[in-house]
Amino acid sequence: MAYDVLFRVEAEGAYASDALHVELGSGVRTDDAALATELTLGVLRWRGLLDFLLERALKKPVARLDLPVAIALRMGLYQIRFLERIPARAAVNESVELVKRARKVSAASLVNAVLRRAAAEADPPPEKFLPAGISTAARLGIVHSHPTWLIERWLARFGEPQVISLLQANNQTPRLSCSLHAKRRDEILDGLRESGLQVEPGHLLKAAFAVHGGSPTRTEAFHRGDISIQDEASQTIPLLLDVQPGDRVLDLCAAPGGKAPTLARNAGKNGLLVAADRQAHRIRAMREGFKRLDLREVRLVELDASKTLPFGIHFNRVLVDAPCSGTGTLSRHPEIRWRLKPEQLGELHDLQVRLLERALNQLAPGGRLVYSTCSLEPEENQDVVAEALGKFPELRRVTASEASPAISAHLAPGVDPGDLFDEAGQFRTVPGVYQTDGFFAAILERK
């Protein structure tokens, strides 16, 4: 299962989480699903280091191998290096069988020889094999399995200690955080425990919780719409809008729909929530998700938000959760680190500016807009906001002291809202601090 998912990720550009969801249906045993997930995401997180170690024996880049052979080698070495319960002999044999299954029988002896050498070198740390005179960024890139160009950017902004902390967080299995949609908290959590899950309190939000030991999507609470899987920083973003009963709310880039439930419930029956997205299949998926959550009053609209919007009304609350590079989610979506190219940041910036400008044209006087991303990159965050502020002189940026009351009552014990905002009043989370994804949000108001 892990091999098939990894092949789809590499050959088709699929996202691992989506491909795993399809592969790991209800008929798959929990322990098998856990191992397939560990193998898939582990190989993607550590691909850079795995390729570096493999190339010591190959004497050529892994990228020049046939894809089935490269995947089998990475899977075998990942098990040898990172998984204690699988004997090296079994990992080697299984990788050989994978290339045979992929009709690459001629590569079986190569896979066997390379992995046997790798098993013999499994004890020394990878630092032992680094070439002399290697740069700091290249060294960190190999040891922590990230592209060098991305680390160079982060070193320039954060410094080495913070970058190492970020890289380590990106290589950890993320918490499986959940949002709660019903008021029967204790009853719901008890039911999750009875189903075999272990439940932990949220680190950022007091209403949030995390589970491990299984999938919450297989529980009655999930099917009843009582809970959803959602990172805690992502849960915080819609709270920043401070939606009040009766508000007209626009969720402009709504898919996959995780922030809409909070917006809809806060607007209430007398309010209006329009959830828009560009792709029809994502609209259909949101519609099914909203049925599970019993959100029947949300108006779903298919549109291209980079163009003039078709609405004849203004909204007093607007959320622009913009499509972005996702560099704040590299633990959850490790394939992004290998796909993203530096030039894409500029392309994303241009799109994000257009989206924000279109949204601001729909914002009513006195209304509030939240622009957010799950990116750590300035081109996608503060630079987008600064460009928009330059074109809309009637806008102002909401300060941290003004923004914090909207979320203070929701924060977990011990979390200081002041720690979540920078000097410009912008909301930020960094992977590793509260075990959340990295999010950015700026709050703008029309005077």
Question: Looking at the annotation, which residues are catalytic?
Answer: 374
Phi, psi values for residue 169, rounded to 5°: -65, -40
Element (H, E) at 295: none
In the Cβ-directed half-sphere of 44, how many Cα atoms lie within 13 Å?
A: 32
Handedness of CA 236, 237, 238, 241 (dihedral sign): positive
Phi, psi values for residue 88, rounded to 5°: -60, -40
Give residues with Cβ within 8 angstroms of 200, minimum separation 6: 175, 209, 210, 211, 212
Q: Which of 386, 396, 384 is nearest to 444 (CA)?
A: 396
Strand, helix or coil for residue 248? strand
Q: Which of 201, 232, 230 is nearest to 216 (CA)?
A: 230
Running DSSP on this structure, what letter comes out for residue 64?
G
Q: Where are the beta strands (DSSP E) in 206-247?
A: 209-212, 227-229
Q: Where are the beta strands (DSSP E) in 190-340?
A: 198-201, 209-212, 227-229, 248-251, 272-277, 299-302, 315-321
Q: CA–CA separation, 417 vs 411, rounded Å?
A: 8
Q: CA–CA separation, 172 vs 77, rounded Å?
A: 18
Element (H, E) at 394: none
Q: Where are the beta strands (DSSP E) in 237-307?
A: 248-251, 272-277, 299-302
Strand, helix or coil for residue 212? strand
Judge contact between 164 and 144, C-beta under 8 A.
Answer: yes
Give residues with Cβ within 8 angstroms of 338, minimum separation 6: 44, 47, 48, 147
Judge contact between 348 and 298, C-beta under 8 A.
Answer: no
Provide the terminal-to-terminal Cα distance of the chain, rounded to the nearest Å.
Answer: 55
